[in-house]
Amino acid sequence: MAERPLDLGWMRIFTEVARCGSLTAAAASMRLTQPAVSYQIRRLEDELGVTLIRRRHRGIELTAEGQRLFEVVSRNVDTVDLVAQQLRRTNERQTIRLHTDYAFSSLWLIPRMHGFRALNPDINIQIVATQDPLGQGKHDSDVMIIFGTRQEAGEGSILLLSEKVTPVCSPALLSDTPAPATIADFLQRKLIHLENTSQAHWFDWPSYFKHFGAHRGAESDGSDITFNNYTMVVQATIGEQGFALGWAGLVDPLLEAGVLVTAGPSLEAPGRGYWLVRPKSSDNAVRKLTAWLIDERR
């Protein structure tokens, strides 16, 4: 289908006649009758008021006017054919919808997607980001990555990124104030929180403090800020607005670039994290995407 020429009427007929050097050969190429092709050329000549071709014993030859028209028209026909082929191939590319949350899509998935596209230009990936991937309508060919436990992800799921959090901040935030030396030092600092409105559980500041035996009273959180999107948490942290919990695998590039720095001990939950849910479809494109996701694990 991608190679079928787009119908351009007389432009294509004239171009084909000029290239073939024969009305009969052009008619055969376009699956038309020779009289139909001859009629279109005569109509074009009548409309322009000039002779475009001269009929010879073994074919035709272009007049000067015909050659001039051919040089312009043939370039445009070739350009339109190329664009038409590209549009049709794009339309025929298989599309897979990949459902996940905002944090994973923006900080882990999107920076890597150019690698998949380079390997699989015939597959179009549509990323569907939502705070509740499980709550979205699914097709059998859809792929889903969720945050949670193995039980929540279901049988056959594969852990792509286990949960590990570390307090992080902007280096500039520590230029005037020393880094917290103990967990207790964080109790008086300005913290950035991620609001949780889903059923999934992850480490937040209260659970982080609880694990290390510390308690932060309500009187200490007056200057804290809260976001419902982890990408905004990261942006606020970069903007020197406080300390946040950085998820390993999501903020690693920012730490490596020195945009963020660690400021406290890590806390891990090896059985919890981002899971690739076993897809319902065994389609070849789905297999390629899931295999690539697994290979991208650290």
Taking the C-alpha atoms of residue 6 and residue 117, their distance in angstroms, rounded to an integer, is: 28
Helices within the chain (DSSP H only) = 10-20, 23-30, 34-48, 64-92, 102-104, 113-119, 150-153, 183-186, 205-211, 230-238, 252-256, 284-295
Q: What is the pTM of this model?
A: 0.67
> Residue 132: helix, strand or coil by DSSP?
coil
CB under 8 Å to 153, separation ≥6 — which residues?
A: 146, 275, 277
Residue-wise over 151-186: b if at least 16 C-beta within 10 A, else e? ebbeeebbbbbbbbbbbbbbeebeeeeeebeebeeb
Taking the C-alpha atoms of residue 2 and residue 15, their distance in angstroms, rounded to an integer, is: 20
How big is the chain by its Cα radius of gyration, in Å? 32
Closest CA to 136 of 105, 103, 99, 109: 99
Q: What are phi and psi of 38, to 5 degrees?
A: -60, -40
Per-residue pLDDT of the chain (298 residues; tens, 9 = 90+): 445 555 567 888 888 888 999 988 888 888 889 888 898 899 888 888 899 999 887 888 999 998 998 888 888 888 888 887 777 666 556 788 899 999 999 999 999 999 999 999 888 898 988 877 766 556 666 899 999 999 988 899 999 999 999 999 999 998 878 888 899 889 889 999 998 877 678 999 999 999 999 988 776 666 899 998 899 999 999 999 999 999 999 999 999 999 999 999 999 998 899 999 988 888 888 999 999 999 998 6
DSSP string, 167-209: EEE-GGGGTTSPPPSSHHHHTTS-BEEE---SS-----HHHHH
Q: Which domains does the chain have, with CATH numbers?
A: 10-92 (1.10.10.10), 94-160+273-295 (3.40.190.10), 163-271 (3.40.190.10)
Q: How far is CA 60 from CA 19, 21, 37, 112, 124, in A?
A: 10, 5, 13, 56, 47
